Amino acid sequence: MPPKLSLNVDHVATVREARKIDQPDPVLAAGMAELAGVDGITIHVRGDRRHIQERDLEILRKTVKTKLNVEMAATQEMIRIACDVLPDIVTLVPERPEEITTEGGLNVPHHRDVIRNAAGLFREHGIELSLFVDPDFDQIKAARDVGAQVIEINTGRYCEAKNAADREREYRLILDSIRLATKLRLEVAAGHGLNVKNVGPIAAIPEVRELNIGHSIIARAIFVGIERAVREMIEAMQKATPLELT
């Protein structure tokens, strides 16, 4: 059975914010994506509010029928917002103001105290906690120690691999990391850089419960619409086969 698909609608808001008007609406995009078959909606509320605004978050909390996953930095401001709005799951991610997109996994040991405090608050509010981490054993062990229930494995290096050898090396790291996470009783999601051409080997990993995909689906939707772009990704996930390892 393929993993579930959560669509990140940030870049619908990116287009809107380019003109500072009310269109296109990420809330409408989320509703259309749910009708097309996604299992969840993901948004990243950044400190600089470059795309998703708090109003989007508040409306999405009221309108999303599947599952709302909110990505955010491990800051007191964001933790407060999460506890006020009550998404189904929060994914803590690293964040730098100058970055174009998330550049790597969270350094969990460096933020240990803040994350542990957030984990306690989220448990009190019924919010599941996920950490976006590189496929690194130390980060995964730390994620378990600070109280996360889920890790999202960063698939960026796998997706950016320039040749078969590099891709296989990154895939092996992902497989080994997922096995460790499963042993530690962490649920596993994955995402970053995935598209219909490279998603198959990741979707074929049985322990991966969910894929968080945004840019490639939204980019495709510009040409074919949200419904078709979502269904193309779901079809690619359903046809998934593991990467052949040498």
Question: Which pLDDT belongs to residue 245?
Answer: 84
Considering the candidates 11, 44, 51, 111, report the single residue annotated as catalytic.
44
Residues 156-177: tens digit of each pLDDT: 999 999 999 999 999 999 999 9
Residues 189-218: tens digit of each pLDDT: 999 999 999 999 999 999 999 999 999 999
44 part of the active site = yes
Q: Mean pLDDT by 10-residue block, N- to C-terminus, for the chain (246 residues)?
A: 95 97 97 98 96 97 98 95 98 80 85 95 97 97 97 97 96 97 98 97 97 98 98 96 85
Closest CA to 191 of 109, 133, 125, 236: 133
Question: Which pLDDT belongs to residue 234?
Answer: 98
Contact call for residues 210 and 244 (beta carbons, < 8 A): no
Backbone φ and ψ for 18, nearest 5 degrees, come out as: -60, -25
Residue 62: how many CB atoms within 10 A of its CB? 9
- In a domain? residue 245: no
Closest CA to 129 of 119, 138, 120: 119
Residues 20-32: tens digit of each pLDDT: 999 999 999 999 9
- In a domain? residue 128: yes
Domain that holds residue 185: 4-238
CATH number, domain at 23? Answer: 3.20.20.70
- In a domain? residue 229: yes
Considering the candidates 34, 51, 71, 152, report the single residue annotated as catalytic.
71
Q: Domain count of the chain?
A: 1
Question: Which pLDDT belongs to residue 99?
Answer: 62
- In a domain? residue 46: yes
- In a domain? residue 243: no
111 part of the active site = no
Residue for token digits 């993901």? 42
pTM: 0.95
Judged by DSSP in three states, 97 sits in coil
- In a domain? residue 174: yes
- In a domain? residue 244: no
Instruction: Give kind and range of the element (H or E) at residue 156.
Output: helix 156-160
CA distance 24 to 76: 30
Considering the candidates 111, 192, 210, 232, report the single residue annotated as catalytic.
192
- In a domain? residue 211: yes
192 part of the active site = yes
